């Protein structure tokens, strides 16, 4: 099952290869953050994250994690909840970056 996939627009999805940190103050918006998982695997694997700087430059975003757990202390959590906890840890306002609207995932 694939949810919120992006269309191919050439190599690297048409995005410039410039890379910025998730905590970069010039990061204006997250365009797409892609996760992959298997039904019985306990984590979401981060595939890639693309965003836009305040000046309009499209960039690849370096995230401070490569996996997100599907459960914490035995309690299941949604992908959005797991991402929210990472935003809090990084002191980044995920809602301002529209990161929750940009989630794309594939379950194999």
C-alpha dihedral sign at 96, 57, 35, 63:
negative
Q: How many domains does the chain have?
A: 1
Residues 10-58: tens digit of each pLDDT? 345 554 568 999 999 999 999 999 999 999 999 999 999 999 999 999 9
Strand partners, 106: 2, 36
How confident is the model at residue 17, as a pLDDT? 64
C-alpha dihedral sign at 11, 14, 15, 18:
positive
Query: In which domain, by residue range, is 78 found?
Result: 2-107
Residues 69-94: tens digit of each pLDDT? 999 888 999 999 999 999 999 999 99
């Amino acid at each position: 099952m694939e949810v919120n996939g992006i269309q191919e627009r050439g190599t690297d999805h048409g995005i410039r290869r410039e890379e910025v940190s998730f905590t970069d103050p010039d990061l204006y918006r997250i365009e797409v953050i892609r996760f992959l998982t298997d039904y019985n695997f306990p984590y979401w694997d981060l595939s890639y994250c693309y965003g836009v700087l305040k000046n309009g430059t499209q960039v690849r975003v370096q995230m401070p994690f490569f996996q997100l757990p599907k459960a914490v202390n035995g309690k299941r959590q949604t992908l959005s909840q797991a991402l929210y906890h990472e935003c809090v840890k990084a002191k980044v306002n995920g809602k301002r970056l529209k990161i929750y609207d940009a989630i794309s995932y594939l379950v194999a």
